[in-house]
Structure 1
Amino acid sequence: MIQAHFRTPRIPIATYRLQLNKHFTFHDAKEIVAYLHALGISDIYCSPYLKAREGSLHGYDIVDNHSLNPEIGTEQEMDELSRELEHYGMGHIFDLVPNHMGIADKENAWWMDVLENGMSSCYANFFDIDWDPIKDELKNKILLPVLGDQYGNVLDNQELTLTFENGSFFILYYHHKFPIRPQTYPEILKYRLEELEKTLPEENLHLTEFLSILTAIDHLPAYTETAEEKIRERRREKEVIKKRLHTLYNESTEIRNFIDKNVLLFNGQKGGTESFDLLDNLLDKQVYRLSHWRVATEEINYRRFFDISELAATRVEEPDVFRETHELVFRLIRQGKVTGLRVDHPDGLYCPPEYFKELQKNCYLLTFGGNGKNSKNNRASEDEQSEERAALTKQYHEILAREPHYKPFYIVGEKILGRSERIPEDWPIFGTTGYDFIATVNGIFVETKNAKEFDKIYSRFIKETIHFHEIVYEKKRLIMQVAMSSEINTLGHYLNRISEKNRHTRDFTLNSLTYAIIEVIACFPVYRTYIHSSEVNEPDKRYIEHAVSKARQKNPALNESIFFFLKDVLLNNYPGYFNEEGKKAWLNFTMKFQQITGPVMAKGVEDTVFYVYNRLISLNEVGGSPDWFGTSIEAFHGQNTERAKSWQHSMLATSTHDTKRSEDVRARINVLSEIPAKWRECLIKWSRNNKKHKYLAGDLAAPSKNEEYLFYQTLIGAWPFEPMDDSGYEIFKNRIKEYMLKASREAKENTSWINPNTVYEEALMHFIDNVMNRKQNNAFLHDFKKFQEEISHYGIYNSIAQTLLKITSPGVPDIYQGNEIWSFCLVDPDNRMPVDYGLRMSMLEELKEQETSGGIQALITNMMRNREKGLIKLYVTHKALTFRKENRELFETGNYTPLEAAGTKENNVCAYARNSNTKTAIVVAPRFMTQILSHPEELPFGKDVWEDTFLSLPFEDNAAGYQNIFTGEVAKTTIHNNAKGIFLSEIFTTFPVALMERIC
């Protein structure tokens, strides 16, 4: 009898994100475990490392869920990494990708099987394929938009070639490899058959075998067969046929020459269009239809990850798909090598709450499943394992009945929350990956009172006014028209079929229904809703009603009853006479609709609007709302308070692999919000100076005023501290050029990925080359560098302040690789560059050595004098993480109390206390340093700077003072204006941030 009991999940203290690829492997990760432990990290948090497309630098294009990526390492190397983590008591968070797979690589055996066998493939249900799509010609086929030109041109250029390998036929197209459907082998093997029969006598055994193989092919079940017995027969017999054909090919010279010549004839002759008729006819009979990549936007009939045709969505809601896609990660969990999960893009799943519930259940079963009884070496019978699993499942549900919020395993979801949106209550996870925190903590370093001034500066510079919500609406519509029209058209046809079943709605036209879908999605205020039953919760209801209402307002000429019908379907407002089949169709439409709204939001806003609306680009971050010019201290405290109450183990990030720019770049750009007059003056001066470097690309001047505005902010944020030699400067300039090219294409205003305007892009690159030319007397660079240096010094304080806030706020702080010191990276792939861990290790050793030999004050003096070196950020990170690790209970379950300052600099500080029954820690971080310091070289210390500003302690406190962990200095409490607290001049005496521990 298995005893039911709770499993206490391992909760990380602090995580460190590692980007694994061929340049940074398991072995490399093992080599830095000791350093990360010394830094204060409790868990590594790795990018995906299952087998991905060859050369993948990110790992999200997985081709085999059962294998480790050989470019990252072997099982033995993975074991060595696990043992090293175990030695230091560290955990390992796995980045799980349940939503899609990479299909551009021939090593995706599941996808290759579908291409060969169609609906009769045993993996046909693994991918979200519409076998009965809108286009009749694609019935029972898959559109593959992989060709670089029109199909006919590619064929005539002999870029598609037939090949014969080990008994199988394939079509090759550069690195692509497509299997030929076995039932069409006779198209090749019967061609010129009479010639072969004349060559070989009728009684020839090889000829007899060849004809027998042809007969066997004719008896294969059809590729549209879906009966399980027929699928097994087809799978078995086709492989027998291939083996027989391979053997015959090797045994008979005549057969080999015959097949080789036929392959040659099918491949045609360049310049002779008719010579490709054979291959064209053969391709027409395959499961797939090869097409120009541009066709994907309108006709593709498999669901993709966003608009990326090389990533096909998987149907993980199906039990067999769930089991197969999680096989390896579950084994790693069972073996104790993986202690937590980060789930990638749950918004793309059919039913996220049910997925998370299934995931938690399996993690519970793995943990209590007999300590590895289900391993490969297990001798227990399948019946015994099944009984044990059933018993554990029963016990798990009994626990849930008593404790509905029980979560046995640490799981976080990559969920992008809209402003005021909350994590769905029925998700059994510990929180998000931290984009909500990025937006809030970054926002408190933006001077909100200057919003209108920045509106004026931006509008006047670009000579137009961009209204954020209007541009979001327009760009979401654009994405649905140019990148995801196929998905939208499919939804439209689905809704049309539903409308046809009701006499009150059957007169709605297909076009009007599709148009209504586009308009509602364009007005959707969040990424998606999570309706998965007839019951609709209040938040989801509000979002849908809001979107429909906005769509109606924007389309007064469209019959409003169409919008009411769509709303009824989305909210499951069934007519009273509906049967179960009708209800199921409505709900299925809603769940398919929900899978589309997220990608449209991501592509329309994150990957388009965030490169168009450039008022202050530090606000243009995943999870952010650029229309809100900063965040109030009250909002920051409010979010922290809520997290402390409900999501105290949610991740806290400031940089990730998906952020548009690193935390240090944003910290600098935020400074501009404090000095609008200076910023305006610089813009005017620089623009006039650089006007001569602009070139016309047709009717367009490159760069546009909007891109120029983006360019100057980017330079300010990304310019390195360290001096650059000619080689280093060229590398930096090329990084800026690559970023601006990407930004321009993402904006889709003057060029795009789909239709690159090469003339415009060349003019843009020419502009950057000229304005960044430092070999000549460049007046712009001279003036820019002086301003940038001032901004960067103020940005230092922003950066270390937000680092401290992240490490001490409720939640689990996450450090993105390399960001423990200055990192001025831009959007990927720039932020995935190799990290110099040798430098960081030596810097940490230097910190410890200086603190031991010279004393803490000498160390602080050195760090402040050389703060551009990055040692100061490493120091704050290390000391704060170590303090958090030593006081785990205080930060995990302790209270969060906002603290208020009063005095002349009361607006220049963010402060709060973390307290428990036995301990209290106070966090104080400065902001808006241009308002405090008269020039950047001045230090923010003492009474001359902080004047009468006083930090009140609202809780009962008998402490004599608080000791700053960064300096060892004690700030004494005192009474001021009938309140107990500490003067900021006593807190900030030698160091610009404070984490203070109560002393009695």
Structure 2
Amino acid sequence: MTDFPPRATYRLQFNRDFPFSAAEAIVPYLDRLGISHVYASPITAAVSGSPHGYDVIDPTVINPELGGEAGFRSLVDAVRARGMGMVIDIVPNHMGVAGGENGYWNDVLRHGAGGRYARWFDIDWDKPLLLPILGASLGEVIAAGDLELVDGALRLYGADGPPLRPDVPAQGDLRALVEAQHYRLASWRTANDQLNWRRFFTINELAGVRVEDPEVFEATHALYFSLFEQGLIDGVRVDHIDGLADPAGYARALRTRFDAIGGTRRAYIVVEKILAEHERLARDWGLDGTSGYDFMREVTGVLHASEGEIPLGELWEDISGRPSDFADEALTARQQLLSWQFAGQTDRCVAAFAALAASASASHPAFEAVTPAMLRRAIERLLWVFPVYRSYGVGNHGPSSDGAVLDRALADSTDFCPPGETEIARHIVEWLAGRGPGDATLAAEAVRRFQQLSAPIAAKAVEDTAFYRHGVLLSTNDVGFAPERFALDIGQFHAAMAARARDFPHAMLATATHDHKRGEDVRARLAALSGVPDIWAERVAGWMARTEGRGVDPADRYILLQTMFGAWPIDADRIKAWQTKALREAKLRSSWEAPDEAYEARAAELVDRLLADGTFTAEMEAFVRRLAPAATANSLAVALLRNTVPGVPDCYQGAELGDWSLVDPDNRRPVDYAARAALLERDGDPLSKPHLIARLLGLRRQSPALFSHGAYLPVTVSGPRAGEVLAFTRTQGAERLECAVLLKAASAQIGAGQASPGADWWGETMIDFAEPVSAAELFATAPYHINVAASAT
């Protein structure tokens, strides 16, 4: 058993090439680094060969590909032997249903709505379950011989097909047999319009699970509760809690069950939750906080110099012809995806509200004049502008925090509502707030339909579309970020840390994750551009000219150049893999549904030409070196802040060294732990990121209460460079830690050729710790300051 809360976690991505035994081998290294808890990606049985584990096929079994129960126990034994703990990632929202490996799903296909596991999945049974796994129409597939009946079983494309219902003889006309099943085989292209079960975002291979059903909750969580009871895990990170029917109810149920098992031993529970800029996690859910995307947004935002926003925005508009205002880009993406990738889900949401409106008409005759088309327009327009992932009412009750969200959604939607139909949007908002008329059961269903539509729209339209279209500065575009807030000033950062210390002092602090678009050091380097926009504009102008005439859109070329700068040096295979994904996610000149292979080939050829161009590579290397002092300072600032401010710091696998990764699967590449262990043994350079991390984690080991319960106190900075220093103390009893970092000083760092500018630049800048101290003195050798001192109290 380990003490609560974790002191520092280390995220490991398990797969069959990195099983539990591989993790066991690096436990001594993690202990020397200063980690208290391994933080594991999903450990339950997943689709064969899964690179990430989120396509769970059996939540009751530890994944045999990773080493099974024996392998997991061995890993935990190694962890416990060093006084360390284990936190695991759990996936309550969905299960993998591709390839015939999910026995629960197969039972549903065999037995339909009356099957034992039908209640596990979120399926509308008014029609046969749509199974969009064909490459063409059913008739075309049968005519081509791609679907056959062999020995009483279906064969599809030469492999096992979906199971047949046992009460229908497997004989006779093939089409008639298929149409007699509990499912309807169809082309994958029908899914967006006709799917009658909830999926994860737009992925047909991941089916939504109804954990709001107590029986399903207990069955799908029994393994986690057993592992906690046996002392094999210390807590969980909950994946995509906003996909659930009732996130608040789920979180409270999870806390209640863990508390009942643990007694005085508290489970650590954090959730993956995208918080909008002014949104706060509810304090009454029984959680320890989020998994850290909000901190990643805050710590990256405070690196950005606000004076770079306008010139970089103008540069983007000049190059791309697209808006620099991210809100415009996000609105367009929401409108496009709602009418395309979520058409069927929108249909079901409209139908639910139409039934609710009909029930309301008995007591409120005005609802007789509300048509489904009116409801559709109102729902669509609310979803275009919905300011958070979702609301949290449950039909007849809405939390007070929903009020401001719904008011803003209504106000923002009025500009788009047709004349005379704003009142319809108002009715929708009243129902979402738990105040509208009509049948309570129908209201709960309609509200759930809206909430489970608004969350995936936000994710797919904003993070997985608009983020790939918007190129003002790529370090502003990452999971959980708000690009419309270009920079965070130091006072705002202090306020965010104070709020976390007050509300969720044990929340996870992430700066790199398996979901990030760019690694933490890529973002740190890109952020430096905000301080030198003119220098960047001059440099990139030549590169843009060099890439003209290659048949690649200017916006795509500019985003490519930013990415190459951020991740340099990078090989052709990695950058081309990223580029293909970026083009398809943007959905402008290619897409996953209809790849433009000719355009993608031209874009890939451009990459090859650039990397083969000695002049270009020399210029890129020189520019990266020129900005290296600012990039290094930013990286060190992020490392220091993550490991000293209130919360539990998480280190993503391998990111203790330079994290130059891009979006998945690039951020799941194998990690060279031997090299990291060797560096840890000999490294003493204060400008070394792993040295700084190890030093800070050592302090956390020596003084755990200072970091887990210590006060966070902003420190006053005065003088000409006050806006470039973030300083604070952590105090607990007689212990005090002084911290300061240099920020937003790229121009000075470039001029000085080092991460710490000279004394002349600092002038009379003073930092008021126990007594005023010269910033030039504190930052003489490094762009940060750490000092453990006795508390003044």
Work out whether the TM-score is over 0.5.
yes
User: Per the alignment, in what secondary structure is the counterpart of residue 543 of structure 1?
Assistant: helix
Q: 1:758 aligns with which of 597, 615, 621?
A: 597
1:643-666: CA deviations, max 9, x gaps? Answer: 111110000010000011000000
Q: 1:642 aligns with which of 499, 503, 507?
A: 499
Tell me if 1:34 matches 2:28: yes
* Residue 720 of structure 2: aligned partner: 904
* Residue 852 of structure 1: aligned partner: none
1:684-730: CA deviations, max 9, x gaps? Answer: 211112214x12xxxxxx2x12111111110011113xxxxxxxx7x
1:114-157: CA deviations, max 9, x gaps? Answer: 0001011110100000011xxxxxx2x11011112222222112
User: Per the alignment, in what secondary structure is the counterpart of residue 496 of structure 2?
Assistant: helix
Task: After TM superposition, give the deviation of residue 560 of structure 1 in Å.
Answer: 2.6
Q: 2:81 aligns with which of 87, 90, 93?
A: 87
Residues 29 and 40 (structure 1), Cα distance of their counterparts in 2 relative to 1, 3 Å cut: same
Q: 2:654 aligns with which of 812, 815, 818?
A: 818
Q: 2:421 aligns with which of 552, 556, 559?
A: 559
Q: Residues of 2 paired with 1:316 and 1:939: CA distance?
A: 51
Task: After TM superposition, give the deviation of residue 910 of structure 1 in Å.
Answer: 1.2
Provide the aligned length of Structure 1 versus Structure 2.
787
Query: Equivalences for 1:206-285 in 2 at 5 Å?
Result: 278-285=173-180
Q: 2:113 aligns with which of 101, 110, 119?
A: 119
Query: Equivalences for 1:660-675 in 2 at 5 Å?
Result: 660-675=517-532
Whose radius of gyration is greater, 1 or 2?
1
Q: Residues of 2 paired with 1:341 and 1:933: CA distance?
A: 42
Name whichever of 831-840 and 353-362 sits farther off.
Answer: 353-362
| Structure 1 counterpart of 2:103, one-letter code | A
| Structure 1 counterpart of 2:555, one-letter code | N
Tell me if 1:510 matches 2:405: no
Work out whether residues 617 and 669 of structure 1, in 8 Å CA contact, stay in contact via their aligned partners in 2.
yes
Q: 1:991 aligns with which of 767, 770, 782?
A: 782
1:827-883: CA deviations, max 9, x gaps? Answer: 001000011111111111223xxxxxxxxxxx43xx65xxxxxxx111000000110
* Residue 580 of structure 2: aligned partner: 741
Q: Residues of 2 paired with 1:570 and 1:988: CA distance?
A: 53
Q: Residues of 1 paired with 2:480 and 2:160: CA distance?
A: 36
Tell me if 1:312 matches 2:207: yes
Work out whether residues 395 and 445 of structure 2, in 8 Å CA contact, stay in contact via their aligned partners in 1.
no
Query: Equivalences for 1:31-70 in 2 at 5 Å?
Result: 31-70=25-64
Name whichever of 24-33 and 564-573 sits farther off.
Answer: 564-573
Name whichever of 641-650 and 457-466 sits farther off.
Answer: 457-466
Q: Residues of 2 paired with 1:936 and 1:646: CA distance?
A: 41
Work out whether residues 341 and 411 of structure 1, in 8 Å CA contact, stay in contact via their aligned partners in 2.
yes
Work out whether residues 690 and 780 of structure 1, in 8 Å CA contact, stay in contact via their aligned partners in 2.
no
Task: After TM superposition, give the deviation of residue 506 of structure 1 in Å.
Answer: 2.6
1:741-763: CA deviations, max 9, x gaps? Answer: 11111111111111212222122
Task: After TM superposition, give the deviation of residue 87 of structure 1 in Å.
Answer: 0.6
Tell me if 1:654 matches 2:511: yes
Work out whether residues 790 and 936 of structure 1, in 8 Å CA contact, stay in contact via their aligned partners in 2.
no
| Structure 1 counterpart of 2:456, one-letter code | P
Tell me if 1:602 matches 2:459: yes
* Residue 253 of structure 1: aligned partner: none
User: Per the alignment, in what secondary structure is the counterpart of residue 65 of structure 2?
Assistant: coil
| Structure 1 counterpart of 2:303, one-letter code | F
Task: After TM superposition, give the deviation of residue 781 of structure 1 in Å.
Answer: 2.7
Structure 1, unaligned runs of 5 or more = 1-6, 133-138, 192-277, 369-405, 696-701, 721-728, 848-858, 865-871, 958-979
Work out whether residues 147 and 154 of structure 2, in 8 Å CA contact, stay in contact via their aligned partners in 1.
no
1:614-638: CA deviations, max 9, x gaps? Answer: 1001010111111111111011000
Residues 520 and 407 (structure 1), Cα distance of their counterparts in 2 relative to 1, 3 Å cut: farther
* Residue 261 of structure 2: aligned partner: 366
Work out whether residues 352 and 449 of structure 2, in 8 Å CA contact, stay in contact via their aligned partners in 1.
no
Task: After TM superposition, give the deviation of residue 407 of structure 1 in Å.
Answer: 9.5
Tell me if 1:153 matches 2:15: no
Name whichever of 589-598 and 428-437 sits farther off.
Answer: 589-598
* Residue 453 of structure 1: aligned partner: 311
Work out whether residues 130 and 301 of structure 1, in 8 Å CA contact, stay in contact via their aligned partners in 2.
yes
Q: Residues of 2 paired with 1:618 and 1:304: CA distance?
A: 30
Query: Equivalences for 1:763-912 in 2 at 5 Å?
Result: 763-774=602-613, 778-847=614-683, 859-860=684-685, 872-912=688-728
Task: After TM superposition, give the deviation of residue 783 of structure 1 in Å.
Answer: 2.3
1:299-355: CA deviations, max 9, x gaps? Answer: 000100111110000000111111111121221111100101100011011111111
| Structure 1 counterpart of 2:788, one-letter code | E
Residues 99 and 743 (structure 1), Cα distance of their counterparts in 2 relative to 1, 3 Å cut: same
Residues 709 and 574 (structure 1), Cα distance of their counterparts in 2 relative to 1, 3 Å cut: same
User: Per the alignment, in what secondary structure is the counterpart of residue 162 of structure 1?
Assistant: strand
1:561-592: CA deviations, max 9, x gaps? Answer: 322222222222234xx5xxx12211221122
Q: 2:478 aligns with which of 621, 624, 648?
A: 621
Residues 936 and 714 (structure 1), Cα distance of their counterparts in 2 relative to 1, 3 Å cut: farther
* Residue 685 of structure 1: aligned partner: 542
What's the % identity of the aligned pairs? 35
Task: After TM superposition, give the deviation of residue 171 of structure 1 in Å.
Answer: 4.0
Task: After TM superposition, give the deviation of residue 944 of structure 1 in Å.
Answer: 4.1
User: Per the alignment, in what secondary structure is the counterpart of residue 932 of structure 1?
Assistant: helix
Work out whether residues 292 and 509 of structure 2, in 8 Å CA contact, stay in contact via their aligned partners in 1.
yes
Work out whether residues 925 and 994 of structure 1, in 8 Å CA contact, stay in contact via their aligned partners in 2.
yes
| Structure 2 counterpart of 1:63, one-letter code | I
Q: Residues of 2 paired with 1:989 and 1:86: CA distance?
A: 42
1:750-794: CA deviations, max 9, x gaps? Answer: 1111121222212211222212214xxx43333232212222342
Q: Residues of 2 paired with 1:163 and 1:594: CA distance?
A: 44
* Residue 708 of structure 1: aligned partner: 557
Q: Residues of 2 paired with 1:901 and 1:97: CA distance?
A: 45
* Residue 238 of structure 2: aligned partner: 343
Residues 176 and 506 (structure 1), Cα distance of their counterparts in 2 relative to 1, 3 Å cut: farther
Q: Residues of 1 paired with 2:2 and 2:740: CA distance?
A: 33
Structure 2, unaligned runs of 5 or more = none
Residues 108 and 464 (structure 1), Cα distance of their counterparts in 2 relative to 1, 3 Å cut: closer
Q: Residues of 2 paired with 1:934 and 1:562: CA distance?
A: 57
| Structure 2 counterpart of 1:122, one-letter code | R
Tell me if 1:426 matches 2:242: no
Work out whether residues 147 and 292 of structure 1, in 8 Å CA contact, stay in contact via their aligned partners in 2.
yes
Residues 562 and 407 (structure 1), Cα distance of their counterparts in 2 relative to 1, 3 Å cut: farther
User: Per the alignment, in what secondary structure is the counterpart of residue 996 of structure 1?
Assistant: strand
Residues 991 and 174 (structure 1), Cα distance of their counterparts in 2 relative to 1, 3 Å cut: farther
Residues 934 and 749 (structure 1), Cα distance of their counterparts in 2 relative to 1, 3 Å cut: closer
Q: Residues of 2 paired with 1:999 and 1:563: CA distance?
A: 59
Residues 114 and 658 (structure 1), Cα distance of their counterparts in 2 relative to 1, 3 Å cut: same
Q: 2:433 aligns with which of 538, 555, 571?
A: 571
| Structure 1 counterpart of 2:242, one-letter code | D
